[in-house]
Chain A
Amino acid sequence: MSAADVAVPAGHAVRPVRSYLRFFTAELRLVFRRRRNLLLLAVTAIFPLVIGIALRLASPHPQGGNGAGVAFFNQLAGNGVFLTFIALSTLLVLILPVVVAVVAGDSVAGEAGYGTLRYLLAVPAGRTRLLAVKYAAIVTFGLAATFIVSAVALVAGAALFPVGPVTLLSGTTVSLPDGLVRLLFVTLYVAAAMAALGAIGLAISTMTEHAIGAIATVMILVVASEVVDNVPQLAAAGPYLPTHWWLSFDALLRAPVDTSTLLRGLLSFAVYALIFCSIAWARFTSADVTS
Chain B
Amino acid sequence: MTAISTSGLTKRFRGGQLAVDHIDLAVPDGSVYGFLGPNGSGKTTTIRMLLGLAFPTAGRAALLEVPMPDGATQVLHRVGSLVEGPAFYPFLTGSDNLARYDAADRTADPRTARPRIEAALDRVGLLAAAKKRYRNYSLGMKQRLAIAAGLLRPRELIILDEPTNGLDPQGTREVRALIRQIAADGTTVFVSSHLLAEVEQICTHVGVMRTGRLVFQGSLPELRRTGAARVTVQTADPEAAAKVLTGLGLADARATLAENSGLASGPAPAEASPGATPQVPPGETPEVSALLGDASPEQVCAELVHAGIGVRGFAVTSPSLEDLFVGLTGEGFDVGG
- Inter-chain contacts of B99 with A (CB < 8 A): 26
**Which among B53, B108, B109 has the highest number of chain A CB atoms within 10 Å?**
B53
- Inter-chain contacts of A126 with B (CB < 8 A): 72-73, 106
Chain B at the A interface: SS class: loop
- Inter-chain contacts of A13 with B (CB < 8 A): 107
Which one of B74, B88, B90, B104 contacts A130 once the chains associate, using CB atoms below 8 Å?
B104
Contact (Cβ within 8 A) B88 A14: no
- Inter-chain contacts of A121 with B (CB < 8 A): 51-53, 72
- Which residue of chain B is the closest to A25 with respect to CB atoms? B103
The interface-forming segment of B24-32, B76-84, B231-239, B295-303 is B76-84
The interface-forming segment of A50-58, A152-160, A282-290 is A282-290
Contact (Cβ within 8 A) B87 A119: yes
Is B110 an interface position by the 8 A CB rule? yes
- Expressed in whole angstroms, the minimum distance between the Cβ of B81 and any Cβ of chain A is 5
The size of the chain B interface, using a CB distance under 8 A, is: 37
Contacts A124-B105, A288-B53 given; does A115 touch B87 at CB 8 Å: yes
- Inter-chain contacts of B74 with A (CB < 8 A): 4, 7, 9
- Inter-chain contacts of B216 with A (CB < 8 A): none
Contacts A126-B73, A288-B53, A288-B55 given; does A116 touch B89 at CB 8 Å: yes
Instruction: Give the distance in Å from the alpha carbon of A12 to the alpha carbon of B109 in the complex.
Output: 8
Contact (Cβ within 8 A) A14 B54: no
- Which residue of chain A is the closest to B92 with respect to CB atoms? A30
Contact (Cβ within 8 A) B77 A123: yes
Contact (Cβ within 8 A) A26 B108: no
Which one of B72, B88, B108 contacts A116 once the chains associate, using CB atoms below 8 Å?
B88
Contact (Cβ within 8 A) A22 B73: no
**Which among A13, A22, A114, A130 has the highest number of chain B CB atoms within 10 Å?**
A22
- Inter-chain contacts of A144 with B (CB < 8 A): none
- Expressed in whole angstroms, the minimum distance between the Cβ of A192 and any Cβ of chain B is 28
Contact (Cβ within 8 A) A124 B54: no
Within 8 A of B (CB), among A45-77: none
Contact (Cβ within 8 A) A122 B107: no
Contact (Cβ within 8 A) A12 B52: no
Instruction: Give the distance in Å from the alpha carbon of A171 to the alpha carbon of B108 in the complex.
Output: 59
Instruction: Give the distance in Å from the alpha carbon of A13 to the alpha carbon of B81 in the complex.
Output: 22
- Inter-chain contacts of A2 with B (CB < 8 A): 70
Instruction: Give the distance in Å from the alpha carbon of A257 to the alpha carbon of B34 in the complex.
Output: 71
Is A220 an interface position by the 8 A CB rule? no
Is B206 an interface position by the 8 A CB rule? no
Instruction: Give the distance in Å from the alpha carbon of A80 to the alpha carbon of B55 in the complex.
Output: 58
Which one of A9, A16, A122 contacts B76 once the chains associate, using CB atoms below 8 Å?
A122
**Which among B51, B87, B91, B109 has the highest number of chain A CB atoms within 10 Å?**
B87
Which one of B70, B84, B90, B104 contacts A120 once the chains associate, using CB atoms below 8 Å?
B104
- Which residue of chain B is the closest to A16 with respect to CB atoms? B106
- Inter-chain contacts of A35 with B (CB < 8 A): 91
Contacts A4-B70, A123-B77 given; does A26 touch B106 at CB 8 Å: no
> Which 9 pairs from chain A and chain B are nearest by CB?
A115-B87, A26-B103, A124-B76, A19-B106, A125-B104, A288-B54, A12-B107, A289-B53, A123-B104
Can you identify 7 A-B contacts, CB atoms within 8 angstroms?
A14-B110, A116-B89, A122-B51, A286-B55, A288-B53, A290-B48, A290-B53
Interface residue ranges, B against A (CB under 8 Å): 48, 51-55, 70-74, 76-77, 79, 81, 83-92, 99-101, 103-110, 149
